[in-house]
Amino acid sequence: MEGVDDSNMIICRCEEVLLRDIITSIQNGAETLKAIKMETRAGMGICQGRTCRVLLEQAMTFYTNIDIREFNNVSYKNPVRPISLADLSQSRKDPS
């Protein structure tokens, strides 16, 4: 948008990556989502891209004119949380 500075918009809240970090990465030569991810850590936080992936793809499309269908080369993992065996065994006894 013209006249609006949205460079402080958060793209990845887990890793505190702003739009300007993504733009800088692209200006520094990043041509793929994987390259941006490696440089900025966007998408590598606790959500593992579940919430930020769309924003990242939109930013990449807007600032590079690369077709969004070419972004399939990035893998995203489901968010997981470690659980102790004690908690796991307890959950079986207490279904609540």
**Binding footprint of ligand FES on the chain (CB under 6 A):** 12-15, 43-45, 47-49, 51-52
| Cα distance between residue 56 and residue 33, in whole Å | 8
Would you say 13 or 90 has its CB closer to ligand FES? 13
Would you say 12 or 33 has its CB closer to ligand FES? 12
CB neighbour list of residue 36: distance below 8 Å, 6 or more residues apart: 22, 25, 26, 30, 42, 56, 60
Would you say 48 or 64 has its CB closer to ligand FES? 48
Q: Name the minimum Å distance from CB 74 to ligand FES.
A: 12
**Other Cβ atoms within 10 Å of 53 Cβ, number:** 20
Q: Name the minimum Å distance from CB 32 to ligand FES.
A: 17
